[in-house]
Amino acid sequence: MKIVVIQGPNLNMLGVREQNIYGPMKLEDIHAQMKAFAEQNGLEIEFFQSNLEGEIVDRVQECMGDADGIIINPAAYTHTSIAIRDAISAVQIPTIEVHLSNIYQREEFRHTSLTAPVCAGQIAGMGPFGYHLAMVGMTQILNEVQMMREQQAKAQEQ
């Protein structure tokens, strides 16, 4: 099973920008931890980061037929991008939204996520550990999907 991790704008600056909000860990370190989890659980994982909305939309669309799950941190686009929301909805792949900070404790404009309603779930405010939680959650979702497909296949054989 393959999970694609999509990181939005400014996440390439983790470890440098606003450490009081996002912490000192760099994106590469978060990805290394996710990769270790994936290897321990027999999952394939791929990482993508862009500061450009259209590139994020393209990457979500490219997941169709190529990935079983998406973990996405749309960053600032969470609150503004109908295009990313529509792409997530269109591909119909289980998706978990992650935010390092608790967006509900921040400025009011960050309290609304346009993307969360089309995701299986949202994890916010857990720092880098939120990505680990997303991996655990996605593993559970994918195992359930696989079990359901196996049951449907058995039912069709009968």
Nearest to residue 8, comparing CAs of 94, 84, 121? 84
- By the 8 A CB rule, do 75 and 8 touch? yes
| pLDDT of 20 higher than 80 | no
Please tell me which residue in 31, 77, 79, 99 is annotated as part of the active site.
Answer: 99
For this structure, is 79 an active site residue? no
Domain that holds residue 9: 2-157
Please tell me which residue in 22, 77, 131, 132 is annotated as part of the active site.
Answer: 22
Quote the number of domains for the chain: 1
For this structure, is 99 an active site residue? yes
Say what the pTM is: 0.92
- By the 8 A CB rule, do 57 and 88 touch? no
The rounded percent of the chain whose pLDDT value lies above 90 is 79
Alpha helices by DSSP H, 8-128: 19-22, 27-40, 53-62, 82-91
Note the pLDDT tens digit of each residue in 109-126: 778 899 999 999 999 999
